[in-house]
């Protein structure tokens, strides 16, 4: 079974050939464990049901934690539920009815989650506002979504107040948490807007309690605006059914993968709650009775937050994991010969065992013999009888595969490298608090070298996921103990089915070997459309429920999905060659001297150029006088980094026309603050082009000489 093609998938619909101008489509697949449909739980149809279910089971357990100097102070589930009911009641008293819109503006905090759960209870639509959005974007979303009440961090109230004069006929209530400037509070009040401190608002609700509203599964729970790499953000309408299906699906997946989550588990909340990735993770933790500790709001203090909470589940984006990888490998490279030898020996030994399917941690043997007897007796017989040529399979060797495993999942009687974990990797694991047992990467592709590093060094199960706001984020997740899923995002989650559709102009076909094509998804976790934009909805969502992601996928031998390209982010060079820019950038991320890179080309030029941000280590190694900007302008450093990029291109298998021929070095990283990245760390290509167009034109003129 492990070697069987698409072992994790069940075909639930036939392929179709190209016809009437439509490209061919591959079969419709579901994950095998959910071939008959998505998981459901009796009496849990809405997010309010889900939270109430947890409160009744875990009332005295820690729920939401706020960072303090001493560590974390906690609200229990029962305490949180009382505040949720109070805030919901106060919003009703402020004039909101089911279907009313409540904006939330600020970094993740317990008050953020309480406000969102209050919206779920009363049937309001929560409209998240990224805390890094500028005034114009906040004003646009508040107007577009018809928001009438806003909960805001006190220090963000000034930014909101700047937009309120244009919104005074819309916004009637403002609630702030933490401290706020007195002058700003007066400015808001002078506009005729009721403004309350969060604790005062809770007291108002307790004085005028309102019953929970009757909410249906297909009612909206949120209008979540995409971060927007181009143009105005789109309002993604998500129903209670979509988010509940995602949470139940995640729980079913983790159980099937051998990961049981419960009251001992905790999550550090620092990715934006305004994005569906973190929201889905937090709703899952609440469902299983775990605890959520909210960061202090300062990225420079993230590691102290981690060490204070010591989370068991750590969700992040590739950019953060890449930094961990670069930091550790840089320290190893600068260490002594013995340190290097031990690390590389341990790393290569453990990686080889993980690739054979040996477990990260011990897995209990499922035979009546028990683990010890299985290794000593049954395992020996099985090895001699069935696989005598595989000496690595003998039961007394470290990491021996269990002969009783049930495919397609790997399980073992021993763990991959217990001694190396204690001697070499223990200190690295401690960087995330020492208790982390599941690492989740999402938001963008995680490079294979970073994934291998995390799997080996962090002593935790590592999974890479894929999804969009429109699909509630968790659409595909890799099984952590399946070797074939390294470098993929795994099979679909139980809530959805998928198929691949051919893209002839890019030479992708679902009938090829391996199958490739645009990833199309349908199922319970899909969005209902874009708010006030039927035209854009019809562009991506068909009448029979298929959502066209725009991403190009490839199926691995067992049915794991690998995202290899982007249908829209392609351009043609002057000689007629098509370039998939995200694929090119992914290859260049292997270059250890580059922190960030943006690749550019167009149909009037025959070659690619790039803007790259060198790592601090590379700048320090360059030596010489001058600040960072002066070093980036040094032709010798440009020449050296271009040579290193060429080596990365070769290692990444890029063709000649896919390689950059000129580079601009930038001293300031691309960031949300300088509007060159979205809050989920995706490149804003139009903004990058606008910023660097003059330098790009000058570089092309130089290359033509």
pLDDT in tens, 93-122: 999 999 999 999 999 999 999 999 999 999
Give the 3-state secondary structure of residue 533.
coil
Mean pLDDT (whole number) for 504-526 = 94
Lowest mean pLDDT among 29-38, 125-134, 147-156: 125-134
pLDDT(4) > 70: no
Share of the chain above pLDDT 90, in %: 61
Quickly list H helices, 218-317. Answer: 240-256, 276-288, 302-309
| Residue 514 preceded by cis peptide, ω within 30 | yes
pLDDT(386) > 90: no
Is pLDDT larger for residue 603 or for residue 185? 185
pLDDT(68) > 90: yes
> Which pLDDT band, with edges at 50, 70 and 90, does 74 fall under?
very high
Residue 231's pLDDT is what? 60
> Rg of the chain's alpha carbons, rounded to an integer?
26
Mean pLDDT (whole number) for 1-20 = 83
Residue 411's pLDDT is what? 42
Pairing of strands 101-105, 125-129: parallel
Pair 619, 681: CB distance under 8 Å: no
Residue 582's pLDDT is what? 83
Give the 3-state secondary structure of residue 263.
coil
Is pLDDT larger for residue 387 or for residue 429? 429
Angle in degrees, 0-180, between the axes of helices 77-93 and 110-122, rounded to the nearest 10: 60
pLDDT(408) > 60: no
Would you state the CATH architecture of domain 570-704?
Answer: 2-Layer Sandwich (3.30)
Residue 604's pLDDT is what? 78
pLDDT in tens, 675-696: 898 877 788 888 899 999 999 9
Residue 678's pLDDT is what? 80
Residue 281's pLDDT is what? 96
pLDDT(384) > 60: no
Q: Where are the domains of the chain?
A: 47-237, 570-704
Q: In what order do the strands lie in the sheet with 438-441?
A: 72-76, 62-67, 291-294, 266-269, 313-316, 438-441, 461-466, 476-477
- Cα 394 from Cα 170, distance rounded (Å): 71
Residue 373's pLDDT is what? 44
Mean pLDDT (whole number) for 68-90 = 97
pLDDT in tens, 370-379: 444 444 443 4
Residue 354's pLDDT is what? 87
Share of the chain above pLDDT 70, in %: 90
Mean pLDDT (whole number) for 145-174 = 93
Residue 414's pLDDT is what? 61
Residue 330's pLDDT is what? 83
Residue 72's pLDDT is what? 96
Mean pLDDT (whole number) for 421-433 = 89
Quickly list H helices, 59-177. Answer: 77-93, 110-122, 135-145, 157-163
Residue 366's pLDDT is what? 38
Task: Give the CA-trace dihedral at 526, 530, 532, 538, to 10 degrees.
Answer: -90
Q: Give DSSP secondary structure letters for 440-452.
A: EE-SSPPPHHHHH
Residue 216's pLDDT is what? 97
DSSP state letter for 159: H
What would the two tokens of residue 655 be? 């063709």
> Which pLDDT band, with edges at 50, 70 and 90, does 228 fall under?
low
Mean pLDDT (whole number) for 41-65 = 97
Give the 3-state secondary structure of residue 61.
coil
pLDDT in tens, 324-351: 888 888 888 888 899 999 999 999 999 9
pLDDT(315) > 70: yes
- Cα 201 from Cα 88, distance rounded (Å): 10
> Which pLDDT band, with edges at 50, 70 and 90, does 310 fall under?
very high
- Cα 80 from Cα 363, distance rounded (Å): 36
Q: Which listed CATH number (3.40.50.980, 3.40.50.2000, 3.40.50.300, 3.10.180.10) goes with 47-237?
A: 3.40.50.980
Mean pLDDT (whole number) for 395-424 = 55
> Which pLDDT band, with edges at 50, 70 and 90, does 447 fall under?
confident
Residue 417's pLDDT is what? 81
Residue 371's pLDDT is what? 41
Mean pLDDT (whole number) for 518-524 = 97
pLDDT(407) > 80: no
Pairing of strands 438-441, 313-316: parallel
> Which pLDDT band, with edges at 50, 70 and 90, does 307 fall under?
very high
């Amino acid at each position: 079974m492990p070697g069987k093609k698409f072992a994790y998938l069940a075909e639930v619909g036939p392929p179709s050939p190209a016809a009437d101008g439509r490209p061919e489509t591959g079969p419709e697949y579901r994950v095998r464990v959910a071939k008959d449909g998505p998981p459901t739980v009796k009496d849990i149809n809405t997010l309010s049901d889900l939270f109430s279910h947890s409160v009744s089971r875990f009332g005295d357990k820690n729920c939401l934690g706020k960072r303090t100097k001493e560590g974390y102070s906690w609200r229990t589930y029962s305490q949180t539920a009382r505040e949720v009911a109070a805030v919901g009641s106060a919003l009703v008293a402020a004039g909101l009815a089911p279907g009313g819109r409540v904006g939330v503006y600020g970094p993740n905090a317990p008050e953020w989650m309480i406000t969102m759960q209050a919206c779920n209870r009363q049937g309001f639509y929560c409209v998240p506002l990224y805390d890094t959005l500028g005034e114009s974007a906040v004003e646009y979303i508040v107007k577009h979504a018809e928001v009438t009440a806003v909960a805001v961090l006190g220090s963000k109230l000034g930014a909101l107040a700047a937009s309120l004069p244009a919104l005074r006929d819309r916004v009637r209530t403002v609630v702030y948490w933490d401290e706020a400037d007195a002058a700003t509070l007066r400015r808001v009040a002078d506009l005729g807007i009721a403004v309350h401190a969060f604790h005062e608002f809770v007291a108002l609700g307790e004085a005028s309690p309102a019953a929970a509203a009757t909410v249906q599964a297909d009612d909206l729970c949120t209008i979540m605006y995409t971060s927007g790499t181009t143009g105005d953000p789109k309002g993604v309408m998500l129903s209670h059914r979509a988010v509940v299906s995602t949470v139940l699906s995640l729980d079913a997946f983790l159980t099937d993968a051998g990961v049981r989550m419960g009251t001992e588990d905790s999550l550090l909340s620092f990715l934006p709650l305004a994005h569906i990735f973190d929201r889905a993770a937090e709703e899952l933790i609440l469902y299983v009775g775990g605890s959520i500790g909210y960061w202090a709001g300062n990225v420079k203090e993230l590691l102290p937050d981690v060490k204070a909470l010591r989370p068991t589940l750590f969700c992040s984006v590739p950019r953060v994991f890449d930094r961990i990888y670069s930091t550790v490998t840089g320290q190893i490279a600068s260490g002594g010969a013995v340190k290097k030898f031990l690390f590389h020996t341990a790393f290569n030994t453990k990686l080889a065992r993980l690739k054979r399917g040996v477990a990260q941690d011990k897995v209990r043997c499922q035979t009546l013999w028990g683990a010890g007897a299985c290794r000593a007796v049954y395992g020996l017989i099985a090895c001699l009888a069935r696989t005598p040529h595989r000496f690595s399979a003998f039961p007394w060797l470290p990491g021996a595969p269990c002969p009783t495993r049930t495919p397609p999942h790997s399980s073992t009687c021993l763990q991959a490298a217990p001694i190396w974990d204690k001697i070499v990797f223990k200190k690295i694991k401690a960087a995330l608090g020492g208790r982390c047992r599941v690492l989740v990467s999402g938001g963008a592709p995680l490079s294979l070298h970073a994934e291998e590093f995390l799997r080996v060094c962090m002593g935790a199960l590592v999974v890479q996921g894929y999804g969009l706001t429109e699909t509630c984020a968790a659409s595909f997740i890799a099984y952590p103990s399946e070797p074939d899923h390294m470098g993929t995002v795994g099979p679909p989650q139980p809530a959805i089915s998928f198929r691949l559709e051919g893209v002839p102009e890019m030479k992708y076909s679902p009938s090829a070997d391996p199958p490739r094509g645009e990833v199309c998804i349908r199922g319970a976790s899909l969005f209902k459309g874009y708010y006030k934009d039927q035209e854009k909805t019809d562009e991506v969502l068909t009448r029979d429920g298929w959502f066209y992601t725009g991403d190009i996928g490839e199926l691995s031998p067992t049915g794991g999905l690998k995202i290899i390209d982007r249908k829209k982010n392609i351009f043609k060079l002057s000689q007629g060659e098509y370039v998939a820019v995200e694929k090119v950038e992914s290859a260049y991320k292997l270059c250890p001297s580059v922190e960030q890179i943006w690749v550019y080309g167009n149909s009037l030029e025959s070659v690619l150029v790039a803007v790259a941000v060198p790592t601090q280590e590379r700048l320090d190694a360059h030596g010489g006088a001058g600040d960072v900007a002066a070093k980036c302008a040094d032709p010798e450093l440009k020449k050296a980094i271009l040579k290193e990029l060429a080596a990365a291109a070769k290692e990444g298998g890029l063709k000649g026309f896919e390689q950059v021929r000129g580079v601009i070095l930038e001293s300031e990283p691309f960031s949300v603050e300088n509007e060159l990245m979205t809050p989920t760390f995706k490149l804003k290509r139009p903004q990058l082009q606008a910023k660097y167009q003059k330098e790009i034109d000058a570089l092309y003129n130089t290359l033509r000489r």
